[in-house]
Structure 1
């Protein structure tokens, strides 16, 4: 529900200076107006001189910390921050949360959560696990998320946090989610990056136009339609301009993951997060020809062949990405009890020397198993490793 910005900021001020504050974050920017700092975090801390308000601000390069006594010094600092054109305020107290987002028209969208929070213990270091995206965020209500989906979102965001640099780069951060489906992770990525002080411009791509319409309406409902847009089209052919910095491809089925990786390479995307799903292509090729000795028993059973095809497919993808100037980690990003498709390819471009052993290893694998990965076909032929004779 829209509120006047003056009234909403007055409510934020009362919470920041009240006795129940546990943590608050200001980040993002209003349309066309960047704040003087990219992010501010506030929390009470217990010092010898008594409780102070700690304010940590970042200009995008390094943080600055101030511990201010309660009263006039803290009030003046809070008023300065409230005067900054931040696009988002997130305030946690012992009795609930308040989420304030400024729309492109300068109105305030306010969401309040009533989930009780544990009282902060400023002088201690043992804390309950903190989710990277507030469980009371209106996104979760909009998508009907249960506790399991919240955990999946948190696991994804932790993988994203481990991939991107800290602090985040200044200026617009362009993100594309290929095969975004219902886009709950697309929105989660936007929320997290905006709260971190980035200026994310996110595009979701899905082949279904009804998903585009649904997701576009949800972006308007969540107040981020200027920053999160959707297009209908295939992963291989959808128009995305300008090229993104970060490419997401989460549970794109079978060779759709290869199409996403090929587009990321062609864009020279700085970061890639891909969670593969359904490895049918290599499995089908393994069924069509005998396995090299002595690996016949490895693929004689259907279930073992399918599982080996999963491993071989993602090994070839990671090795080929390394041959194209990406550092690649293959990690488990969430416990298998939540989803059996829990492997994540996490890639960062640059800083990788053109090491012949990457191409040699790839060429020997495809030659020995007599397979032609779809990713190899999709990438430029003059940049492919030559099979070893």
Structure 2
């Protein structure tokens, strides 16, 4: 309902200072005005000194966290945020969810609904059972993780847990994340493996030097610098020594996924997790030639051809990995409402009884569609620069 902004902010203030508060987020901007911070998130936290109000603000690059004592300090901090010209407030309590939107005319649109009690369970109640990595872990504060990002992290960690053996191997577990980007999943994998009792030694690889510097600084801030390091380089050329046991390649674009899989095979990595992204290579090859009979209608429309190219590309990747001696599962690792790029190739080396059959199936597919996947070319070429293990048998 519409009401004056002053009255609506007074309602929001009461909720932010209420013992029933579970979470609140302020974002956006009012017409013609810009807040001093891009986003603010508030929630209660339990410290040794008692319950405090944690406020995390970000300017769009790095988060700033402070824990404010109850009473006048919390009231002053809340009043300071309410004075900012945010365009939206989202406040969750144990019994309701309130959303405030400021209209172009400066009025307030306030919407209140009954809270989802499963989502607002008290801290420490069932959270350890719901998440593999505690949502209160300092990592999430450092990376400014939203609830959606925490869900994505948890889905990835569940896929990782399903891939690795139980119990985990003793001794150093060497992990490389190829195309790590901002490395939040790199750090999450390290934290999970430590909690699971492993001894991870993690290397993140990204072509951008600025990402290496940023991620290295964040590793030092989190206290991980001794075990989590970063190098700048391309996936196919970066030097990683000794070779890893576990290879991650999450949303490496187009043939960068093939580069990562080829290095994993050349390293004879024991486990591989790859989330492909942007399948342009095979799609371009399909556009250049007629489809085999009777599959013309399958690729007659552009959107159908693109989707079929996605399926064909990852089918060929999985078949090549099986021919190279890996057991491969192709799974959806997070719901498509979070990202359409939600396919995961989960591979474990060994236990593949019929490699010739996989090679024949692969040969028939590429012959019928007259395509040459980049992964095939890379495996046929053998070891990539920087590899120290002999290459596995490749399909040519």
Over aligned residue pairs, what C-alpha RMSD do you find? 2.5
CA shift in 2, pair 1:294/1:92, >3 Å: farther
Quick check: 2:283–2:306 contact (8 Å CA) kept in 1?
A: yes
Compared CA separation, residues 202 and 137, structure 1 to 2 (3 A):
same
Displacement, 1:354? 4.3
How many positions carry a matched residue from both structures?
276
Q: Which residue of 1 aligns with 2:136?
A: 136
8 Å Cα contact 1:360/1:385 also seen in 2:
no
1:144-293 matches, cutoff 5 A: 144-293=144-293
Q: 1:145 to 1:113 in 2, by over 3 A?
A: farther
Deviations 1:25-64 (A, max 9, x none): xxxxxxxxxxxxxxxxxxxxxxxxxxxxxxxxxxxxxxxx
User: Conserved in 1, the CA contact under 8 Å of 2:247 and 2:271?
Assistant: yes
Q: Displacement of 1:352 after TM fit?
A: 1.4
TM-score, normalising length: structure 1: 0.67
The 1:113–1:262 alpha-carbon spacing in structure 2 relative to 1, beyond 3 Å, is farther
Question: What CA deviation, in whole Å up to 9, does each residue of 1:336-376 have, x standing for no partner?
Answer: 00000000000000121243210000000000000000000
Is the contact between residue 171 and residue 199 of structure 1 (CA under 8 Å) also seen in structure 2? yes
Offset, 1:380: 2.9
Q: Return the offset for 1:154.
A: 0.2
1:314-325 mapped onto 2 (5 Å cutoff): 314-325=314-325
Structure 1: which 5+ residue stretches go unaligned? 1-90, 98-110, 121-126
Contact 2:262–2:379 (CA<8 Å) still a contact in 1?
yes
8 Å CA contact 1:257–1:274 kept in 2: the answer is: yes
Q: Structure 2 vs 1, CA of residues 96 and 312 (structure 1 numbering), >3 Å: closer, same or farther?
A: farther
- 1:349 aligns to 2:349 (yes or no): yes
How far, CA to CA, are the matches of 2:233 and 2:128 in structure 1?
Answer: 42
Structure 1 pair 214–295 and aligned structure 2 pair: CA distance change class (3 A): same
Quote the offset at 1:385 in angstroms: 3.6
1:117 aligns with 2:123: yes
3-state SS of the aligned residue for 1:237? coil
Q: Distance in 1 between matches of 2:258 and 2:51?
A: 43
Partner of 2:21: none
What TM-score results when the alignment is normalised by the length of structure 2? 0.66
Structure 1 residue 130, shift from structure 2 partner: 1.9
Matching of residues 85-96 of structure 1 within 5 Å = none
Question: Within 2, Cα distance between the matches of 1:162 and 1:318?
Answer: 18
Give the distance between the partners of 2:221 and 2:174, measured in 1 at CA: 22
What is the CA–CA distance in structure 2 between the aligned matches of 1:181 and 1:318, rounded to whole Å?
A: 24
**1:170 to 1:286, Cα distance in 2 relative to 1, 3 A:** same
Q: Following the alignment from structure 1 to structure 2, what is the Cα–Cα distance between the partners of residues 291 and 350?
A: 35
What runs of 5+ residues in structure 2 fail to find an aligned partner? 1-45, 53-65, 70-120, 383-392
Cα deviations across residues 200-219 of structure 1 (Å, max 9, x unaligned)?
A: 00000000000000000000
User: What is the distance in 1 between the residues matched to 2:260 and 2:67?
Assistant: 38
Residue 372 of structure 1 aligns to a residue whose secondary structure is coil
Question: Do the aligned residues in 2 keep the contact of 1:275 with 1:343 (CA within 8 Å)?
Answer: yes
CA contact (8 A) 2:328 2:345 kept: yes
